[in-house]
Structure formats: C-alpha cells, structure tokens
Amino acid sequence: LARVLTAAGVTVIDVDRPDRKTRRMKGKSDPIDSYAAATAVLSGRATGIPKSRDGVVEAVRVLRTARRSAVKARTQAMNQIRGLLVSAPAMLREQVAGLERAMLIRTLSRLRPGDDLSRPLAATRAALRRLARRHQALDDEIAELDTEIGPLVKQAAPVLLELFGVGPETAGQLLASAGDNPERMRSEAAFAHLAGVAPIPASSGRTHRHRLNRGGDRAANNALHTIVLTRMRFDERTRAYVERRTKEGLSKKDIMRCLKRFVAREVYR
C-alpha cells in the first residue's frame, strides 16, 4: 500500500502502533486506530518515512528471510537428532559417540534401517537418516542463498563490507533495517535509535549514567552486537579501548553499549 501511494504522489508517513496505556483507555477498533494515526501525524509526533522496498536492498531482505527460515529449520533438525540419540538403543549411540557434527550428519545419513520398521532400532535409524538428510539439504540451501546474497550486499554497500568485523550476514541485516532509502534517517543519531543503541538516560540525584536501550530493531541491534564481539576479540584498537574503560570502572555491558554506539556511527557514515 505504501509503495502504491508513494508512486501516486501521496505523502506517506509511517506511524507506530498506539502505546498500551492509550489502547487500554480508549479501546481498539479500526476507526479509533485511524484517528490515533491521524492525530500522531498532525501533531508532529509521527514523522517517519516508510521504506521504499524497490531496490537491491529489498532483494537482500527477502532472500535473507528464506535463509533465516532455513537456518532455523536446520537447527531444529539438529536438536531433534540429538534428542533421538539420547533415547536411542545403546548400540546406535555407541556407533556415533564422539563424532563431530559434520561427521555425525554424514554417518547418520548413510544408516540402513532395513525393511522391518516395527523394531525400535530400525525405526530410530530411519528417523535419524531422514533428519540427517534434511540437515544436509538445508546446508546446501543455505550455501546457495549465501552465494546469492553476497554479491547483492556488495553491490548495495561495498564500503560497508570493508569495515572491520562486518561480513555479508551482518551487512545484509543492517541494509535490510535501513531500507532502500536510507536518507529517511536524518542523522546517525536517528540510525542509532533505529538499531536500539542510542543511550537512554538513567540518572538520579548525583548518579549520572545511561542504561541499555531495549527498543529499536532488535535484528539490527544483534548485527551490531556481533560486530562488537568480533572486534573485542580480534581488533587491537577495540581491545585497548575495552581495557582502558574497564580500568575506569565500567562494566562489560556498559562498554559494549558504548562500542555498539560507535559502530552505529561508523556504519552510518
């Protein structure tokens, strides 16, 4: 709808849902929600511009949706395999004991359950073989999606991939959160709010501090978190910063909050 209206020359404003307190007081219906949205726009509280969803970033987003579901399904398959192995007959457990994941999947995919599935051992072998082959198929699907997403991310933001700790996965998520029209974010502070890394004042009396921001796009926040973890482990500049701030008395959470804000500024530029 937003794309159609924008193409028709209509100014479109993105309005958040009403807060819970207002909804409890005034109720919920389409007319009430429409009036609340109109009031938010006319009062100036709602000024957000929706994503255009008409470029390469939208292509990255939809492909990442397929990848995310494949990763989730692969994790479920692996969890089911481990669950079945816990209750599997001892002979089968001993056959795969101590194997790393890749070898475990290959071994299970080659099991021969036999024709008589009325026996628990044969049925367990059949189930494990199906799950292992499903895991292999999902591995191939994820690898194929990675080869499709990587060039698109590089096409959309080659400079972003040059930043330390930023790979196709994290870059793809940050692009998807920003959209094809990143100019809708008026400043790097706006991007920080979008990603949920803008510090929230939590001072009282003589205590001056900021707390973690639990709002914003949590997927973008997770991408920044991943970048920070990578830098804390491998980037000498970041490690020196962590050491200095630790000596100043900051906790690890506070240091990571600061680092995520720095990374958000760097990504926006």
Q: What global pTM score does this model have?
A: 0.79
User: Has residue 19 got a pLDDT over 90?
Assistant: no
Least confident window among 102-106, 113-117, 211-215, 224-228: 211-215
CA 195 remoteness from chain centre: 11
Query: Which residue in 81, 76, 12 sits closest to 47, CA to CA?
Result: 12
Over residues 106-124, the mean pLDDT reads 91
Domain ranges of the chain: 2-43, 56-156, 168-268
Percent pLDDT > 90 in the chain is 56
SS3 content of the chain, % helix, strand, coil (to 5): 70, 5, 30
The larger pLDDT score, comparing residue 42 to residue 176, is at: 176
| Biggest CA-to-CA distance, the chain | 76
- CA 204 to centroid of chain Cα atoms: 34
Query: Which residue is it, tokens 């009282």?
Result: 204
